[in-house]
Structure 1
Amino acid sequence: MSQPDPVLIQVPERIVTERLVIAMPRVGLGQALNAAICESLEELKPWMPWAQSAPSVEESETVVRHQVARFLLRTDLVYQFYEKTPAGEAGRLLGGSGLHRMDWQVRRFEIGYWIRSSAQGRGYVGETVRALAGMAFSELRARRVEIRSDVLNARSRAVAERCGFELEGILRRDALTPTGEPRDTCVYARITA
C-alpha cells in the first residue's frame, strides 16, 4: 500500500495547553531564540552540540528559517514553546522541542527538548512533552514515540520518566558528547497498544 507524501500530512502548527503555547517556528523569531540560547548556554553546552558557543542573531534567524522549511517538508517538526498570556497568546519564549528522526511509514517519532535557564524547574518541559506525545499518538497516528537521553543527563531522564516513557535500554557508547567523548544513550519509549 502506497504511503502519502509526508508533505500532505496535516500537522498542527500550534498546540495550546494550560500554561503554554507550543508553535511551529516562524520567520523573525531569531532574536528571541538567540536570547534564550545565550541565557542558557552553560546548561545546554554539555548536552547539545549546537550550543557550544553563543550564536549571532543572524545565525539564530538562519536556524529558524531552516526549521520552518523542514517543518513544511515534514522532515523535522521543531516547535518552540512559550508562556501563555492571559489572552491565550504566545508570550515569552521558554524553549524548544519537537518531533525528530521521524519514520512516517512506521509512524515513529523522537521527542527532544531544551528550556531556557530562567524557566527551569516549573514543569514546562513535561507539559510540552505530554502535549507533543498526545498529538503524535492522536493526530499523527504514531505507533512509537521515543525520548533519547545521555545516561548522565538526569534532568532529561526525569522528564521522560515523569511523562510515562518506559526505559527500554541503554545503548552503550552509542553517541559522542559535544566534546567528542563516547557516551551511553538511554532509550525511553511509549507505544500504542
Structure 2
Amino acid sequence: MKKLPKEIETERLFIRVAKPGDGVAFNEAILESINQLSPWLGWVTPRPTVEDSEQSCLRAHERFLRNEDLMAFFFLRDTGDLVGGSGLHDANWDLRQFEIGYWGRTRFSGSGLITEGVRALTHHALEKLNASRVFLTTDDRNTASWRLAERAGFQLEGILRNERLDLTGRFRDTRVYARVSA
C-alpha cells in the first residue's frame, strides 16, 4: 500500500500534514476568515478555540499516521504564513480514490495559492499514489469553490439536486467534480 505524503513543495508553497503544535496558527487563520468560511464549512461553527483547533490537528495527525486521511496545511515558502488548507480525505485504498477539500485564508484570496496547492495534492494522488479518482463536492451556490475546482483541472460530473441540507437546514444542490487517471 502506498503512503499519504508527509510534505510536498510547489513554486510558492510548502504543503505538509497537520501536526501537534499547529493549533495556534490554524485557529488564527480560521478566525481571520470565519465570515467567508462559515456559510460553507460546518466545522468553523461554533467559533473554534485554540484548544479545539489543536485537538483537530492532533486527531488529523493520528489519522495520517494510520494512512487513513491527510489534513494538509499550505504555508508560503518565503514567509511561513499559513494560507489555507486542503487534504486527501477518506482514503479508499481498494479503489484508489480520495476526496479533496480546501479552504483559504481571506487575506490571500485571489492569489491562486489554494489552486496551486490543490493542483499539487491532486497531481500527487494521481501520479504517486496511483489514484483512479480524486473528487470533491461543493454547494452549487459556492461559486468561489467550484470555480477553483475548474481552475485546478477538475471536471463537473453533475449537479445533484436537493442532495443534502445546507448549514441552515435547507436543501441544497451539490456539484460533483473529479479528476481521474488517464
Q: TM-score, normalised by structure 1?
A: 0.91
Residue 10 of structure 1: CA displacement? 2.2
Give the aligned length: 182
Hey, what's the Cα distance between the residues in 1 that align with 2:176 and 2:28? 31
Structure 2 unaligned regions, length at least 5: none
Hey, what's the Cα distance between the residues in 2 that align with 1:109 and 1:174? 20
Residue 100 of structure 1: CA displacement? 1.2
Are residue 146 (structure 1) and residue 139 (structure 2) matched?
A: no
Hey, what's the Cα distance between the residues in 2 that align with 1:99 and 1:11? 8
Alignment-derived partner of residue 156 in structure 2:
167
Identify which of 145, 153, 161 aligns with 1:156.
145
Mean CA deviation greater in 172-181 or 93-102 = 172-181
Matched ranges for 1:59-138 at <5 A: 59-85=52-78, 91-138=80-127
Hey, what's the Cα distance between the residues in 2 that align with 1:11 and 1:70? 10
Mean CA deviation greater in 41-50 or 70-79 = 70-79
Residue 101 of structure 1: CA displacement? 2.6
Are residue 188 (structure 1) and residue 177 (structure 2) matched?
A: yes
Matched residues, percent identical? 46
The aligned amino acid for 2:15 is I
Identify which of 28, 37, 44 aligns with 1:35.
28
Residue 168 of structure 1: CA displacement? 0.6
Are residue 58 (structure 1) and residue 47 (structure 2) matched?
A: no
Q: Contact conserved, 1:76 with 1:99, CA < 8 A, in 2?
A: yes
Hey, what's the Cα distance between the residues in 1 that align with 2:90 and 2:169? 21
Hey, what's the Cα distance between the residues in 2 that align with 1:164 and 1:60? 31
RMSD: 1.2
The aligned amino acid for 2:104 is I
Query: Runs (4+) of structure 1 moved beyond 4 Å?
Result: none
Q: Contact conserved, 2:3 with 2:67, CA < 8 A, in 1?
A: no
Residue 156 of structure 1: CA displacement? 0.5
